[in-house]
Each structure stands twice: as C-alpha cells, then as structure tokens.
Chain A
Amino acid sequence: MLDAMLSGLSGLVAGFVHLHWSNLVMMCIGGILLYLGIKKDFEPLLLVPIGFGCIIVNIPLADLMEKGGFLRTIYDFGVITELFPLLIFIGIGAMTDFGPVLENPYTFILGAAGQFGIFLTLLLALALGFPYKDAVTIGIIGACDGPTVIYVASQYAQHLLGPVSVAAYSYMSLVPVLQPPIMRMLTTKKEREVVMKTHQKTVSKMTKLLFPIVITVIGGLIAPHGLPLLATIMLGNFMKESGAVARLTKASENEIANIVTLLLAISIGATMSGPVFVKPTTIIILALGLLAICLDTVCGVLFGKILYVVTGGKINPLIGAAGISAFPMSARVVQREGQKYNKRSFLLMHAMGANAGGQVGSVMAAAVMLSVLKGMGVI
C-alpha cells in the first residue's frame, strides 16, 4: 500500500526531477517574449504564442514534441510541409497595397538593395564555419520576412527553425529602434531634408490587376524553385485587386491568416526546447541575424544616396532604408525621420513604394537563392 502511494507520488514529482537548467533558461526566455509582446507591443500576434509555446515545450515529460504530441502534430502538418508560411503569404498578399510601388516602379530597385544583407551575412556565416545550407538559412534572416525565413529553414535546416524564426520576428519588430541611427549615420542633414514630389492615383485598375500575374509568371520562370513563395503572395494580391472574391480575400487576411499565425507561432515556440536551443550557436545566429538586418539598411540607404546623386538631389536617400520587407513599419520609420528634419517632407508614399518593393524583393531574393542552390547542386 505504502509502496503504491510512493510510486504514485513519484509520478507527481517526476517533472521536477527531470527539469534541466536549460529548460528553466528557456522558460525565462519564453516569459521575456510574452513580456515584449504584451507590454512592449512588439509583434504580439507572434511573440505571445511563440513565448507560450516556448514555455510549455520546456516542461519535462509532457512529450509535446514527441511523435503523437499535439505540438508535434501541428508542426509536422504545417511547418515541415511548408504549408503555414505559404498560407500566411496569401494573407500578406491580400493585405498589401502594391499601388505605391506601381506609381514609382524605380522603387523596386530600392527593394533589391535592401536584400544585400542576406548575401553578405551568408558569406559571414560561411566564414564562421556553418555548413552551406545552414549559412543560407542564417543569411535569409536578412530578408526581414518571417514566412520566407520559415519556408527556407523548414526545407533546408529544420534544426535552426527556432533561432532563425525568433531572430526574424524579433528584429522585424525592432526596426523602429535599429534603423534610425544607421539612417542618421549614413546621410547628411541636407540629404535628409530633401522634399520629394508626390504623384497620386496614376495607376490604372488594369495595371494593378495584371501586376500579380506578370510578376508570378516572370518571377516563376526566372526562379522556379521559389515559385510557391511568389505565387502565394501574388494570389492574395490578385484576389484583392480583382474585387471578385471579396469573401476569399477577407478570409485570407483575417480568419486564415489569424488561425495559421497561431498554429505557426506555437510550432516555432515548440522548437525552442532547452537542450536544443541553449548553445553558443544560437547566440551566433541571433548576432548574425541582427547584422543582416543592419546591413540591409546600410545598403538600402547607400543606394538611396546613389539615386540622390544621379537625380541631382531629387530623391531623399532615407527612403532606401524602407527597401526591406518589414511592411509597413519601415516606411513609417522613414516618414518619421524625414519629418524630424523637414516638416514639409512627406516621404511616406515613396517609402511605401520602396517597402512594397522590399516585400517583393525579399521573396525574389529567396526564390533566386533557392534556384541558384539547385543549379549548383547544393539542394
């Protein structure tokens, strides 16, 4: 009788006995993510489920990520199959207005400059000894685009899914903190004060409608291995612009996006198990991710400076910083910085163009990268 009771009691304390110090560290990190999401309003839709997932996966013996565990089931269903990031992309496409980039097509090029960080960080990761596929996955944090990062990681470096996703989403939310000092450091007061002309409503309905189809076909032909990324974002946008499937558009940007975000984020949190996550490599990946996003901003602003010179001072180089994929956060940062130096300066529409260009640019960079890797026989 006593033995049976002791055995029963041992079952109740087994969780405490098996608690590893790294589990406790990760529970604290989960708590920090919850704090950042709730109190600081840093991407709460993502950080709250990620933080919660991180806490529960570090409770020993619950086996949430073992075969048959509920988090494992969600993870296998949506992350391993790459379904979740692609479904989110449909929602992003439905939410994004590409009008500003169509008004000023040159801003597409600013979206390219904002992707330099991906490739420079890849080089650095290789120099630090990361294997090819890991280096590519780390570099892609510079896309500053959560679903793209998850898509690439789930295909080529599943063991890095946790750190790269956390890095991508955390740094995206830190764009308002990270970008302004770099923008100020690389531009002169005169450059920051430039007032850009605003042309509004110059894009026809037909152009907006053809845009997603043309981009999908051309982009798909150039980089077929990244077509799922490009096609899903453009599908969402096409549905929005067509106006013919309002219910599907609404469902994509609301219900589907919300449900998938919850499932995706909790799955990412579930990859943050202490013994797997707490190691020096994670710190290096987080540092490289930060560097990638800073390099994106540096290259974007430098490209903006080139345009400033080429156009005889008509383009404010600050808009180059918006050539990353953090949409529309980065455009707002540019607008705020521009207004600080010249109250008559309204850079928002131009920055939105660069930002939408950055959205397409990040997807295209990932697509090109995958196709080049395939061509080289690495994947």
Chain B
Amino acid sequence: MMDRWTFGLTMLVVGMGGTICTLILFSLVMSALKKLFPYKKEEDEK
C-alpha cells in the first residue's frame, strides 16, 4: 500500500490534471461542433 503523501499527490496531479484535460477536451469538441453546425438565423423563425 502506498503512503499517504504518494496517494494524496497522485490524486492531486492525476485527478486535477485529468479533470482539466477532460474539460479542455470538452471545450475543443464544443468549439468544433459549433463550427460544424453553425447557428443560422432561420432557427429563430421556425
């Protein structure tokens, strides 16, 4: 079993790093989706 500090720092680095990377990925994917399916004014009129 690893010691407490190894566990804590692993959680901080991998956990927080993983969260940030995932959200950056979400942000990029959403930007790409917006480009692929741009908003058209007609959508308001439907």
Query: Which A residues lie at the B interface, using CB under 8 A?
Result: 101-102, 105-106, 108-109, 111-112, 115-116, 118-120, 122-123, 126-127, 132, 135-136, 201-207, 210-211, 214-215, 218-219, 222-223, 357, 360-361, 364-365, 368-369, 371-373, 376, 378
Contact = CB atoms under 8 A, between A and B. Distances in A.
Contact of B27 (A108, A120, A203, A210): A108
Given A119-B16, A206-B37, A372 B10 contact: yes
Interface of B is mostly: helix
A105, A222, A360 — which one has the most chain B CB atoms within 10 A of its CB?
A: A105
Contacts of B12: 119-120, 122-123
Interface of B: 2, 4-5, 7-12, 14-16, 18-20, 22-31, 33-34, 37-40, 43-44
Nearest to B37: A206
Contacts of A378: 7
A102 B30 contact: yes
B30 A105 contact: yes
Contacts of B10: 372, 376
A204 B39 contact: yes
A115 B16 CA distance: 8
A369 to B, nearest CB: 5
A132 B31 CA distance: 38
A222 B18 contact: yes
Nearest to A357: B23
Interface of A is mostly: helix
A376 B9 CA distance: 13
Contacts of A123: 8-9, 11-12
Contact of B44 (A108, A116, A201): A201
Contacts of B38: 204
Given A112-B20, A360-B26, A132 B7 contact: yes
Contacts of A102: 30, 34
B19 A368 contact: yes
16 contacts: A105-B34, A112-B24, A119-B16, A123-B11, A123-B12, A126-B8, A127-B4, A136-B11, A204-B43, A207-B34, A218-B25, A364-B22, A365-B15, A368-B15, A369-B15, A373-B11
